[in-house]
Structure 1
């Protein structure tokens, strides 16, 4: 917490939390209205953007203060790891293995495109505009890698681990949303041209059609009404794992700080780093047990609620006006996503992958569950579950891969 006095108009965290929940409720309510005007509005300005930037506006104009609030701390230390546990409950390695030839390769190529595309973009910018990527900018860009490999939860994890400046983080949030959603729009448009693209890739689309029928059958067989006991058991699993994670992470971080403090450069003395690592691994372990059945009663829905509360709490720490301070950062994002897209194109051409797997490989990383699901729906609604499986896997590895990407960007930064 800062020693500067809290000069915001509203300083009570109870009221601030109510405002954040009101914003989230308003965004989700209006984004689901049938009005043609509302649909056009949210086509231009995605709901996720408003969930970040409306709290940011309140902070920027002194109505609330993210700097002096404990909501961000609670969200990142309790809701974030619980969110990761609930998302990874549905990790289905068997289904991923069945899709390994196309989806697996495209997913890995997509992840590699982000991990290598980040340092490539930083290196390119350092040749003609080094000030844009100098200093600790790589820390903010590493949080962007967290979003583009996993999702908002991984982005928040990297934010807490690396602690980039609020100004740089605000700028990269704008890059994240606008570049990623622009790319998603291109992929959704590509879905309408899938047959032509499949012919170009010389791909056999029968695997996608078979997958459509298989996932449709699975989706219909697992859903059941949610009971109160289901909610309590899910919360017990999620926050029980969080408790274990906090205990073990504290022991490991304390030991390393005492025995090898020089490893702090790699965040290995950070309790939060170990918290995210441990809770994600335990979530993956639970996916091999009967706990995975709780996806059928809404585990990922509760995870999404936690995630959006976290997103709003991050948003309230932003200074919106800082976005204008570094517009060339958008070029970094464009170079980065172009590298990613080109690598995917080359791999898809080599293995003759249907365009569906190109899109899922990309959005399973770049967009996370929500965007990948929206993109999958453009192909066929029953394929949404495939998008979720791929995206959940990206949540599982997103923090680690993004951390590697961040280290590589640090190495090439001027």
Structure 2
């Protein structure tokens, strides 16, 4: 609509996208908008509003600031998300919860190469497999992992465009189905003869938990930002010296991948130290803000012309989700898992920490924190599992 972008200065672009996020989360706080944000959470608006800005010519499709955001905001956010993880609490979720989450992960890992083997020959994009590799990250742990896989496999923005639509329609469509099925969890549990002992015990425990968040101080902010920036620069510097691993056709572990693995592993190791207590001051929230700001730059770069290919991509995505569901149902039948663990285990993969608490809270309100823990576990598992899934998809594509 505009001959040239109205907003093109790097700081102006960051200011605009930050304002968009602020408005989205502000509107999310109003009860009147609750139905809209329940099915279309802020993460979706973080993609599509900047995409709309680029489409109408308000912002450019290419800018050096997008590259900067991609290079630094991802490791910054991942460090804060990982250093605040309570791994002991995750392990205390019990074998059934973790088993169902891993079953869902296995369904995504197996489904990715199977689906691409069926649909790959029909895609005109010669590097479509890189888009599916990035999508595997989103569906094993959530959005942060999708961005990590995009960087790891070098997915072009034009290739990622239609996969963003698939992520929203298939991924969040499945979330809507799970929310609908919450009304029938008693029937499902009776049909499968579910063992609800672990779920009931965990539900009672979560009801008694108190919120430990405290007001953030200047010391907290200095510590969070300083450590995260130092970890980001250190990981990128060390990662640049590491060798790339892969074949002539596909690089599985690039220097960017090494940087991500270093910052994630370093953050997890530091989560066993007193630094984990930064979460009491909301460190993960700062991490999520950095992640959402990064998502705005990804949305702004998306090629909407590629969305014309969405029907075929969408069909592939739906089949992928169906394979994921089949693995979950088989696992639930095997261990007599209640529908709560099926739904939360699925969203811990497909939606990550942003969506798993929502679904868990719909099934059992006191269990929303359990959904968050499972979602965080999905983030951790997804960094490594999605690399394997993307590698398998790359093998099929060769």
TM-score, normalised by the number of residues in structure 2? 0.93
Q: Which residue of 1 aligns with 2:45?
A: 50
Which one of 188, 193, 197 corresponds to residue 202 of structure 1? 193
What number of residue pairs does the alignment pair up?
A: 396
Which one of 68, 93, 113 corresponds to residue 119 of structure 1? 113
Q: Which residue of 1 aligns with 2:27?
A: 30
Residues 338-379 of structure 1 show CA distances to partners (whole Å, capped at 9, x for unaligned) of 000111000011101121111121111110111111111112
How far the C-alpha of 1:133 sits from its partner, in A, is 7.3
How far the C-alpha of 1:32 sits from its partner, in A, is 2.4
Q: Which residue of 2 aligns with 1:265?
A: 250
Give the 3 Å change call, closer, same or farther, for CA 410–250 of structure 1 in structure 2.
closer
Residues 264-290 of structure 1 show CA distances to partners (whole Å, capped at 9, x for unaligned) of 83343x321111000000111011111
Give the 3 Å change call, closer, same or farther, for CA 239–263 of structure 1 in structure 2.
farther
Give the 3 Å change call, closer, same or farther, for CA 98–317 of structure 1 in structure 2.
same
**2:165 matched to 1:174?**
yes
Helix, strand or coil: the match of 1:288? coil
**2:82 matched to 1:77?**
no
**Distance in 1, Cα, partners of 2:73 & 2:152:** 16
Helix, strand or coil: the match of 1:251? coil
Residues 173-217 of structure 1 show CA distances to partners (whole Å, capped at 9, x for unaligned) of 000011111111111122222222111221122321221222343
Contact 2:140 2:382 in 1 (8 A): yes
How far the C-alpha of 1:337 sits from its partner, in A, is 0.3
Cα RMSD (Å) of the superposition?
2.2
Which one of 336, 344, 367 corresponds to residue 351 of structure 2? 367
Give the 3 Å change call, closer, same or farther, for CA 397–97 of structure 1 in structure 2.
closer
Contact 1:60 1:318 in 2 (8 A): no
**Distance in 2, Cα, partners of 1:348 & 1:162:** 33
How far the C-alpha of 1:308 sits from its partner, in A, is 0.7
Contact 2:80 2:267 in 1 (8 A): yes
Give the 3 Å change call, closer, same or farther, for CA 105–133 of structure 1 in structure 2.
farther
**Distance in 1, Cα, partners of 2:200 & 2:113:** 37
Contact 2:93 2:370 in 1 (8 A): no
Give the 3 Å change call, closer, same or farther, for CA 13–354 of structure 1 in structure 2.
same
**Distance in 1, Cα, partners of 2:109 & 2:185:** 27
How far the C-alpha of 1:61 sits from its partner, in A, is 2.9
**Distance in 1, Cα, partners of 2:86 & 2:191:** 31
Contact 1:55 1:316 in 2 (8 A): yes
Q: Which residue of 1 aligns with 2:304?
A: 320
Give the 3 Å change call, closer, same or farther, for CA 264–248 of structure 1 in structure 2.
farther
Contact 1:96 1:389 in 2 (8 A): yes
Q: Which residue of 1 aligns with 2:229?
A: 239
Contact 1:167 1:323 in 2 (8 A): no
Q: Which residue of 2 aligns with 1:149?
A: 140
Which one of 208, 223, 236 corresponds to residue 213 of structure 2? 223
TM-score, normalised by the number of residues in structure 1? 0.89
Q: Which residue of 1 aligns with 2:56?
A: 61
**Distance in 2, Cα, partners of 1:393 & 1:80:** 18
How far the C-alpha of 1:262 sits from its partner, in A, is 5.9
Contact 1:85 1:238 in 2 (8 A): yes
Residues 242-276 of structure 1 show CA distances to partners (whole Å, capped at 9, x for unaligned) of 12212211222xxx26xx896783343x3211110
Unaligned runs of 5+ in 2: none
**Distance in 1, Cα, partners of 2:9 & 2:311:** 34
Contact 1:88 1:393 in 2 (8 A): no
